[in-house]
Amino acid sequence: MSHALSAPLQAAVYQYLLADAGVQASIGAHLYDALPSGRVPDLYATLGAEVVRDKSDASGAGAEHDLTISVVTGASGFQQAKEAAAAISDALDDPVLTLSRGRLVGMRFLKAQAARVGTGTIRRIDLKFRARVEDN
């Protein structure tokens, strides 16, 4: 299996999160692949790093994608970021995603890491998920 399902998986995750009521309530439409120019909102999430491993077998082509979604805030505490991270985690707990190519076999939460960034005025939570996909 190649990296062929990476873009379809990312697009499906992006659309799924934007449509989720819990995610909407926490970050609105502030989910980005690339940050917009100019001022960014005080709370937002970004689609980030990804590691892909071949998981093809006798039944067909497949891959395992470790995805990172980051929640970032300039708020003085972690509360808002943790609430947004929980909404994203809840949404991606065994989601039903429609990919433009291939299919999602399953997705699960792996881990999260919360940290202060730079001088400590920015807080960031990196959520890691593992998705297993198969090609059509």
Amino acid residing at 30: H
Residues in the chain: 136
Q: What's the confidence (pLDDT) of residue 58? A: 80
Beta-bridge partners for 43: 73
Which domains occur in the chain, in start order? 5-33+40-134 (3.30.2000.30)
Q: What's the confidence (pLDDT) of residue 1? A: 57
Distance CA 98, CA 90 (A): 18
Distance CA 130, CA 52 (A): 10
Regions of the chain short of the pLDDT cut 70: 1
Q: What's the confidence (pLDDT) of residue 120? A: 79
Q: What's the confidence (pLDDT) of residue 59? A: 83
